[in-house]
Structure 1
Amino acid sequence: MSVFLWILQIVLALMFVGIGGLRLVSPAPRLRRLPWTDGYPLAAIRALGALELIAGLLVLVPGMLGWSPLLTAVAAGGLAVLMALAVLMHLRRGQQQSAVLPAILLVMAGIVLWGRLDQLL
């Protein structure tokens, strides 16, 4: 199970560090072309990117450095909440196809949360 959790953590870290980084550094016109950004201020999109980047790092780095597995579980829980909200937002906007990737990431983050919390108990 531990190898499986590490693989999920690596994938989550790569996805969220990449996505979050792009949201932080991409020019505003490029971000505005994304359909889900309608109605959201640029500052909120950048803040979301910062949260994703930080959570992406925290889902992997503490375990690599031998820090508390609780940090990994908290980061995975935060990502799960974030992805649940992303799924809801896409479904409310009628963007069912756009909800698939956040749903997959939600399941992955939930498995990491469950697996790392199980190790703590």
Structure 2
Amino acid sequence: MSVFLWILQILLALMFIGIGGQRLVRREAQLKRLPWTDGYPPAAIRALGVAELVAGLCLLVPGLFGWAPVLTPLAGAGLVVLMALAVVMHLRRGERQSAILPAILLVMSGTVVWGRLDQML
């Protein structure tokens, strides 16, 4: 189970570090070109990027260095919330296809939370 969880954590970390990093470094005009960003200020999109970047790092760093292992399931739980909100947002906008990836990431994040909490208890 531990190897499976590590694979999930690495995949999620790579995804969220990449996505979060892009949201931080893209210019405002590039952020506005994304279809789902209509009505959201660039500061909110950048804040989302920070949350994703930090969560991605917290999926890996505690386990790699043995620092505060409780951060891993907490980061996963934060990603569950973010991805649930992303799914809802896409569905409310009628973007069913765009809701698929956040739904998959939600399940992956939830699996990490469940698996790591189970190991801690």
State the TM-score bracket (shorter-chain normalisation): over 0.9
State the one-letter code of the partner of 1:74. L
For residues 20-46 of structure 1, what are the alpha-carbon distances to aligned partners after superposition, in whole Å with 9 as ceiling and x for unaligned?
000000011111111110000010000
Distance in 2 of aligned mates of 1:110 and 1:69 = 16
> In percent, how many aligned pairs have the same letter?
74
Calculate the TM-score normalised by the size of structure 2.
Answer: 0.98
Distance in 2 of aligned mates of 1:68 and 1:3 = 19
Distance in 1 of aligned mates of 2:69 and 2:84 = 23
State the one-letter code of the partner of 2:83. M
Shift of 1:68: 2.7
Q: Over aligned residue pairs, what C-alpha RMSD do you find? A: 0.6
Distance in 2 of aligned mates of 1:63 and 1:114 = 16
Calculate the TM-score normalised by the size of structure 1.
Answer: 0.98
State the one-letter code of the partner of 2:117. L
State the one-letter code of the partner of 1:104. I
Shift of 1:116: 0.3
Q: What corresponds to 2:75 in structure 1? A: 75
Task: Return structure 1 stretches of 4+ with deviation > 4 angstroms.
Answer: none
Distance in 2 of aligned mates of 1:5 and 1:99 = 24
| Gapped regions of structure 2 (runs ≥ 5) | none
Distance in 2 of aligned mates of 1:84 and 1:75 = 14
| Gapped regions of structure 1 (runs ≥ 5) | none
Paired residue total: 121
Distance in 1 of aligned mates of 2:68 and 2:22 = 28
